[in-house]
């Protein structure tokens, strides 16, 4: 149909490779995250929470519950854990005293990054072997994958209006 008809088999097999590699990478990224959490003596939820706090600097318990897909009750005990371990400071919002404002203790932030350092270094080396176009292709691809995940999550949670193509 398009150019390169004679390469269709190669293309089909490349696509199959890509799909398989994508699934396997997704699985490994999850195993990796579990391993990091275990190494830090945390649960994956704890790690998720701390990563979130590193991003946003401070959040309320309710925001954390939403982000981590936990109930507020679970967040309460998670925050107790994380406070006890000294990762986090929690205090009531003076402006709205129902709210609990949680912040990551900055002196502990580096400690959370440490297990990722080896990975980050390797990733950087890998990416430095790419030219700008390749980097942009990858980033654009990741962004599109993100959009897909979000759309599918929406579909899974609210009804499932079947990804309409037409």
- Residues binding a copy of itself (CB under 8 A): 4, 7, 10-11, 14-15, 17-19, 21-22, 24-36, 39, 44, 48, 51, 69, 115, 118-128, 131-132, 134-139, 141-146, 148-153, 155-157, 160, 162-163, 165
Cβ closest to DNA, residue 7 vs residue 80: 80
69 touches DNA by CB under 7 A: yes
Cβ closest to a copy of itself, residue 80 vs residue 121: 121
Secondary structure (DSSP) of the chain: --S-GGGHHHHHHHHHHHHHHHHHHHHHHHHHHHHHHHHHT--HHHHHHHHHHHHHSEEEHHHHHHHHT--HHHHHHHHHHHHHTTSEEEEE-SSSTT-EEEEE-HHHHHHHHHHHHHHHHHHHHHHHTS-HHHHHHHHHHHHHHHHHHHHHHHHHHS--------
Q: Nearest distance from residue 47's CB to a copy of itself, in Å?
A: 10
Among 13, 26, 39, 72, binds DNA (CB under 7 A): 72
User: What residues from 101 to 160 belong to the interface with DNA (CB under 7 A)?
Assistant: none
């Amino acid at each position: 149909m398009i150019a390169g008809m004679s390469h269709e088999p190669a293309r089909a097999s490349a696509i199959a490779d890509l799909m398989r590699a994508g699934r396997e990478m997704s699985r490994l990224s999850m195993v990796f995250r579990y391993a990091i959490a275990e190494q830090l003596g945390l649960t994956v939820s704890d790690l998720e929470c701390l990563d979130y706090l590193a991003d946003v600097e401070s959040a309320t318990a309710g925001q954390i519950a939403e982000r981590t897909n936990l109930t507020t009750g679970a967040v309460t005990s998670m925050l107790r854990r994380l406070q006890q371990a000294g990762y986090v400071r929690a205090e009531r919002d003076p402006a709205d005293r129902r709210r609990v404002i949680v912040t990551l203790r900055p002196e502990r932030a580096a400690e959370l990054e440490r297990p990722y350092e080896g990975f980050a270094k390797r990733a950087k080396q890998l990416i430095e072997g790419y030219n700008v176009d390749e980097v942009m292709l990858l980033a654009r691809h990741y962004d599109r994958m993100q959009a897909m995940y979000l759309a599918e999550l929406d579909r899974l949670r609210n009804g499932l209006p079947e990804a309409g193509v037409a």
